[in-house]
Each structure stands twice: as C-alpha cells, then as structure tokens.
Amino acid sequence: MSRNIPNFLYEKLLKQYGEQITKQIQEGYTKNRPVTLRVNTIKTNYQNVKNAFDNLKYNAQNVDWYKDALIIENISENAIRQLDIYNNGEIYLQSLSSMIPALILEPKQDENILDMCAAPGGKTTQISAITQNKAFITACEKNKIRAERLKYNIEKQGTTRITVLTQDARNLDSFFSFDKILLDAPCSGSGTINLYNENLEKIFTEELIQRSVKTQYELLKKAISVLKSGHEMVYSTCSILKEENEENVLKILKTGEVEIAPIDENQFKKIPLLPVKIDGTICVCPNELYEGFFIAKIRKK
C-alpha cells in the first residue's frame, strides 16, 4: 500500500492523523482523478460550456458547492486542450480543491485584492471572474518564466484589471494596502503526491518541508502587514501537514494582530475533510475527486 511513499512522511501522517485516516490518505494518493475545470464567466456561461460538452457526447457533471465548476468523465486534459472553448479561454483547467480558496475569500467588485503567489493564474483569474472583472487585482510572481505564463493566462481569460508584479511578495513595499489577500503559499505538496513518480523520494524531503514552512511564515507576516485592519485574507496550501498549516497559522495568531474568521463547513458539505487543530479552518482529504488542501480565513483586528 505504501508504494513509494517516503517513510518519514508515513510516520508524520501516522503521528498527526492515526492509522485509519493515514490509510485513507494513502488510498487517496493512488487515485486517478477525472478532469475538472472552471467556466470562465468573463467570456461565457455555465450552460454554454455544458452544452458544448453534451454536443461532444462527454459526460459533464456539475459540482454542488460551485456553480461554475464541472467534472468531465472519460477525457484527458490533452483532449480538452484541443477544444475551441479551451483555446478561446472560455474554460480553465483547475483542480476542485484549488477552486475553494478564492470562494472563501469572497472577493467583491471594486476591492483592491492581492494574490501573493499568483502563477500560473488559476486563482487570480477565478477572483476576476467571481467579481465580473471588476476587482483591482495585484498578482505577484517572483519567477520570470512563471510570471510570463501568468500574463499569458490573464490575457487568454480576458481579464483586464490585473497588474502583474514580477517580484517576491515578501519584498512588497509597506506603503501597499489591500482590502483582501489570497496567499496560496508554496508548499511541500504533501496533499497532491503522485505515488507513481519514480523521483518522489528525491523530490519530497524533510528539507523541502522545513524550507516551505519558513517561506510560508514570512509570506504570512508580510500579508498581515499590508492587509487593511478589519479586513480578511485567505491562507492556503496543497499540503496536509500541520507544520505547514495549523502551526504556521497558530504562530501568526499569537502575535495578537489577527483572529480566525471561521469557514462555514456547510458550504462544502460533500467535500471529504480531515480533522484540524484550529476550529474554523478546513483541510481537504485527497480522494478520487479532490487533492489534499488546507484553507484558513484570517481577519486583521
């Protein structure tokens, strides 16, 4: 069962979740998930996209908690990339779990919003679509090649109010001030592990986790400093390890500057959730539909 899973990760999961849940997580790692995508409502609507797939005789299923998401059975991402609706930017290939943070952020029109680690742009353009292209979004990406990819996706999706900054969000000038912030932080990826990756032992290391924790906390501190008082941010990772998730959030809570804005679990009733150490945060369990993902909503006092 523990094919290719690094021993130290197995031990971590066992310690954090116990045997039964660890088995469940390992089972989730082995699943081949169907293609999932988001309808780009800046260019089209759900029904048009649903009809396009129906006409092609593909089974497109809706998602209970998100009216603009679809699950497409028996098709590969490569096949989707050949379709006009993909090339026109009417849809965006995106995992279901990674659609949750932008929904929890609840972006509104005319707000100034920061996306701190924006490439390749799935969540950035999702925020834009949710606000009907009427929020002012600053998207940070420190890697030049990834920043180009981000710009390409922004243009393809038809969003017009996004400013891309090719810089490390940790170095943002302190004169910036935002209504809302999305920090989908770089992480170990412990929620999205591919057990069939032959290089897993080399890629997924204890050192990667420690490096991620340090970067995440630095980004969190910067986020709080440029968030307006009384306003909210979302912190998310595609990790299911407490040191990257709850422990980082607890450290920032101890500063006394912020508090948890509880996420309403009823909004995501059918999503498989793991136990968390902080009430009001959620951690998605990897399974046949979802990747592992942690989300916390934080309010600056």
Catalytic residue, candidates 117, 140, 187, 238? 238
Q: Is 238 annotated in the active site? A: yes
Q: Kindly state the average pLDDT of the residues 262-272.
A: 91
pLDDT tens for 136-182 read 999 999 999 999 999 999 999 999 999 999 999 999 998 999 999 99
CB atoms within 10 A of CB 67: 11
pLDDT exceeds 60 at position 297: yes
Residue 2 binned pLDDT confidence (cut-offs 50, 70, 90): very low
- Would you state the pLDDT for residue 203? 87
The beta-strand segments (E) located in the chain are 35-39, 60-63, 66-72, 91-93, 112-115, 136-140, 162-165, 178-184, 227-237, 258-260, 273-274, 282-284, 293-300
Would you state the structure tokens that stand for residue 273, as one six-digit string? 């959730």
pLDDT tens for 19-51 read 999 999 999 999 999 999 999 999 999 999 999
In this prediction the pTM is 0.96
* Distance from chain centroid for Cα 64: 18
- Would you state the pLDDT for residue 22? 96
Q: Do domains 35-93 and 97-300 have the same CATH topology?
A: no
pLDDT tens for 110-123 read 999 999 999 999 99
Residue type (1 letter), 191: G
**DSSP type of residue 99:** G
Residues in a beta bridge with 232: 180, 299
Residues constituting the chain: 301
Torsion of CA 88, 161, 109, 230, to 10 degrees: 130
Which residue, among 237, 277, 270, has the nearest Cα to 253 in the 3D structure? 277
Q: Which CATH homologous superfamily contains domain 97-300?
A: Vaccinia Virus protein VP39 (3.40.50.150)
Would you state the structure tokens that stand for residue 218, as one six-digit string? 């630095």
**Could you tell me which CATH class the domain 35-93 is placed in?**
alpha beta
Nearest 5°: the CA angle 41, 191, 99 is 10
Would you state the structure tokens that stand for residue 50, as one six-digit string? 């649903």
The domain ranges of the chain are 35-93, 97-300
Distance CA 16, CA 14 (A): 6
- Would you state the pLDDT for residue 3? 61
